[in-house]
Amino acid sequence: MPQIIAAAAAPNKTVTSDNIKSVYSKLRTAKAPVFKGIEGLAINQRQQMNGLELLARVEDKTVPLVFFDPQYRTVLDKQAYGNEGARQKHRASLPQMPEDIIAEFLSEIERVLTPQGHLMLWVDKFIVCSGLESLMAGTELNLVDMVTWNKKRIGMGYRTRRTAEYLVIFQKSPVRAKGVWCLHNIPDVWDEKITDRSHSHSKPVELQKQLIEAVTNPGDLVIDPAAGSFSVMAAAMAQGRRFLGCDLLG
């Protein structure tokens, strides 16, 4: 029996797992080159180094998935609310990334991604609203999706109070979902409360686990060059993938 996925926009037509076969596939046929390790870089471990130096040592077109969560300078500027609480102080003390450094990271990420590989880029509402074009101008990565993360915790804000962050998903050409993205039950609004409060920008491990499973195979390499609390490492290891990443602060 075909499973009913959703009511279709066209009247009297229901979308089932049979009649959407041509678009969705649970089978991943995409394969990344076997990762043989990089001398001097540790796998599945926290490392203290500059993410650009780490990326520079990774070969072209070898990585199926990179997460990137920059320490946006512009966001801090916008957040200069005069709120001098302990968390704001901790945030302000993290190494900032000016736009030209973020552009360098993005260009290196594009270089190391396999064809059809994915970049999961965390942004906040200022970036969503002002547009991603200038941020992504130096790359040819294709915008393919976005997930809104409901942090289930009320944050700051002069007007509305922030509870969401956004994960924008890019794919390196050729753009394709079938055979590449194999999990089709991830909602694009994701509720997850963080329990690890050791880093002020920790991202949701459960969501990252699902995304890793969707676009990589067991044993594949997942990179996070600005890893913060290393939430991507926890997610990648839980899914049986290999993690390579670092943070300037270790």
Ligand X SMILES: C[S@@+](CC[C@H](N)C(=O)[O-])C[C@H]1O[C@@H](n2cnc3c(N)ncnc32)[C@H](O)[C@@H]1O
Which of 212, 228, 239, 244 forms a contact with ligand X (CB under 6 A)? 228
Helices (H), 60-189: 73-78, 86-93, 99-112, 125-130, 133-136
Which of 51/117 has CB closer to ligand X? Answer: 51
Q: Which of 4, 32, 29 is nearest to 19 (CA)?
A: 4
Tell me which DSSP letter residue 161 carries.
Answer: P
Q: Hey, how many other C-beta atoms are within 10 angstroms of the C-beta on 160? A: 9
Report the site for ligand X in 75-134 (rule: CB under 6 A): 94-95, 97
The residue length of the chain stands at: 250
Instruction: Report the nearest approach of ligand X to the CB of residue 159 (Å).
Output: 23
Distance CA 73, CA 63 (A): 27
- Type of residue at 158: Y
238 binds ligand X (CB under 6 A): no
Instruction: Report the nearest approach of ligand X to the CB of residue 99 (Å).
Output: 13
Which of 151, 203, 209, 241 forms a contact with ligand X (CB under 6 A)? 203
Which of 29/93 has CB closer to ligand X? Answer: 93
Helix then strand count (H, E) for the chain reads 8, 9
Q: Is 180 left (phi over 0), alpha (psi -120 to 50) or beta?
A: alpha
Report the site for ligand X in 67-86 (rule: CB under 6 A): 69, 71
Which of 69/220 has CB closer to ligand X? Answer: 69
Which of 7, 156, 183, 249 forms a contact with ligand X (CB under 6 A)? 249
Report the site for ligand X in 207-226 (rule: CB under 6 A): 225-226
Size of the site for ligand X (CB under 6 A): 22
Which of 162, 177, 201, 217 forms a contact with ligand X (CB under 6 A)? 201
Instruction: Report the nearest approach of ligand X to the CB of residue 50 (Å).
Output: 4
Strand-pair category, 164-171 with 142-150: antiparallel
Which of 58/180 has CB closer to ligand X? Answer: 58
Instruction: Report the nearest approach of ligand X to the CB of residue 92 (Å).
Output: 12
- Can you state the percent helix, strand and coil of the chain, rounding each to 5? 25, 20, 50
Binding site for ligand X (CB under 6 A): 50-52, 69, 71, 94-95, 97, 199, 201-203, 225-229, 231, 246-249
